[in-house]
């Protein structure tokens, strides 16, 4: 047998990786785990293209940004195709923009380009139950995000400026990724949700189709054989974390409550 006739073993042959992003970003979709997984796909010589299956309402703005940036790095090296199933909204849509080609079902929900700043205020509740919170800080705005008091006009102005900054960044990121005029993207960046069919009409996606359409497109972009091997990829959590997640502990409940009380800015 000559070198040109060498057998390619199944586990060493070229394949298309399928990466699933499902659920709220920052909660169900864990940023660090997913970024690490995308990086590994970038460096895996067996992976010739990647299909990113997306069904997400969005979520944490920083986590969405981190995933978007890592997908952009992957897209510079290998063909990437987004396949929007139920929804690709806000941060979920931003993630889709990190790929080279975006495909969505006609009945999927796409868009919702906008920013939400969430700051719980529990001052009235604490007063009712007789709890007083005393905070000592240096820097007049150091306590501006604390839930123990109503925001002052100055704090509100700062929050509006911060939200506007995130909004402008989101619009610019979509415009650059989609090759659209910023003014045109801003017309659609009202938080409005579009059907996949409408999104195709206005340029937010490239093509209508299902998962098989996305695989076919990825195969074409990578110039692969008719039936390339599909490798379904999910971020791997540490063993201890997987074991702990089988039950609900008081610590996990407390952590969830604490997270809900923290201010957060979201692409949702």
Angstrom distances, CA of residue 7 to CA of 1, 45, 48 = 9, 18, 19
Task: Give the separation between CA 158 and CA 46, rounded to whole angstroms.
Answer: 48
Q: Which residues are catalytic?
A: 90, 142
Q: Which helix (H) or strand (E) holds 83?
A: strand 80-89
Q: Pick the closest to residue 172 from 104, 115, 101 (CA basis).
A: 115
The two beta strands, 80-89 and 101-104, are parallel
**Do 27 and 255 contact (CB within 8 A), yes or no?**
no
């Amino acid at each position: 047998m000559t070198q040109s006739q060498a057998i390619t073993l199944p586990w060493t042959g070229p394949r298309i990786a399928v990466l699933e992003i499902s659920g709220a970003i920052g909660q169900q979709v864990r940023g660090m785990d997913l970024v690490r997984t995308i990086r590994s796909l970038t460096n895996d010589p067996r992976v010739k293209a990647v299909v990113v299956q997306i069904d997400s309402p969005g979520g944490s703005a920083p986590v969405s940004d981190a995933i978007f940036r890592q997908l952009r790095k992957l897209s510079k090296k290998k063909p990437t195709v987004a396949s929007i199933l139920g929804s690709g909204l806000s941060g979920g849509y931003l993630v889709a923009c990190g790929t080279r080609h975006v495909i969505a079902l006609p009945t999927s929900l796409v868009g919702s380009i906008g920013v939400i700043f969430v700051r719980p205020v529990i001052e009235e509740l604490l007063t009712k139950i007789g709890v007083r919170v005393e905070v000592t800080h240096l820097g007049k705005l150091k306590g501006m995000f604390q839930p123990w008091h109503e925001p002052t006009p100055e704090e509100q102005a700062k929050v509006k400026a911060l939200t506007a900054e995130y909004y402008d960044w989101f619009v610019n990121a979509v415009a650059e990724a989609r090759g659209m005029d910023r003014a045109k993207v801003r017309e659609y960046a009202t938080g409005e949700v579009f059907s996949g069919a409408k999104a195709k009409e206005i340029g937010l996606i490239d093509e209508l189709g299902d998962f098989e359409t996305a695989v076919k497109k990825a195969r074409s972009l990578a110039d692969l054989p008719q039936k390339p091997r599909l490798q379904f990829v999910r971020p791997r959590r540490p063993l201890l974390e997987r074991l702990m997640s089988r039950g609900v502990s008081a610590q996990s409940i407390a952590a969830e409550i604490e997270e809900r009380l923290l201010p957060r800015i979201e692409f949702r």
